Chain A
Amino acid sequence: NAGVTQTPKFQVLKTGQSMTLQCAQDMNHEYMSWYRQDPGMGLRLIHYSVGAGITDQGEVPNGYNVSRSTTEDFPLRLLSAAPSQTSVYFCASSPVGVFGKLFFGSGTQLSVL
């Protein structure tokens, strides 16, 4: 099992560009989620999904879109990147939501110039 695979590891964007961060898991987990980690602020939930076709907003959803067409994949889209979106992004999955062990991807370091 690969666990949670997150790509890319590093990305530099210009303001206004769009991109998609990929997240895939091979553990058949229903719960998947995206977080951003900023210095001094801890991890913050962006969006989450409790199953294919179901997504919901977290604490900081503005500027980000998600979709969940399959159990395995949960991509995060930045439609028009802004410098405030410079951060480290983590994807995580769990078999049973908040009651399950969280499995994290290795993270994406994103810089928006």
Chain B
Amino acid sequence: KNEVEQSPQNLTAQEGEFITINCSYSVGISALHWLQQHPGGGIVSLFMLSSGKKKHGRLIATINIQEKHSSLHITASHPRDSAVYICAVGGNQFYFGTGTSLTVIP
């Protein structure tokens, strides 16, 4: 049983394309996080959302609490965006999706 489902699992895009990664969850949550795991393994936090929408540079994250769904958008994708993007939901504890592996080709 997966509390957090991400789609797609793998994504290849041409540089400049608009990218969307989706996250659906089945548990009650207080907050949702988007993380980025670099090819070398390091993990950094991109966003924490409890409602609405957040934007940071070319990254936009949205959440719909009623539908238990979040999306991460990357505008004007670049090869340096190539990484694994992980959705995490937090209620009493954190649950993580298995990640979306993104490759952006020049």
Contacts and interface: CB of A to CB of B under 8 A. Distances in A.
A31 B87 CA distance: 19
B96 A44 contact: yes
Given A99-B30, A102-B45, A104-B44, A43 B93 contact: no
Interface of B: 4, 29-31, 33, 35, 41-45, 48, 50, 86, 88, 90-91, 93-99
Contacts, number: 57
A98 B41 contact: no
A50 B93 CA distance: 11
Query: Which secondary structure dominates chain B's binding surface?
Result: strand
A53 B44 CA distance: 27
The interface size bin for chain A is 20 to 34
Interface in A56-104: 58-59, 88, 90, 92, 97-104
A43 B88 contact: yes
Interface of A: 33, 35, 40-45, 48, 58-59, 88, 90, 92, 97-104, 106-107
Given A43-B94, A58-B93, 5 more contacts: A43-B86, A48-B93, A59-B95, A100-B48, A106-B42
Given A42-B86, A88-B41, A97-B90, A102 B96 contact: no
Contacts of B95: 45, 59
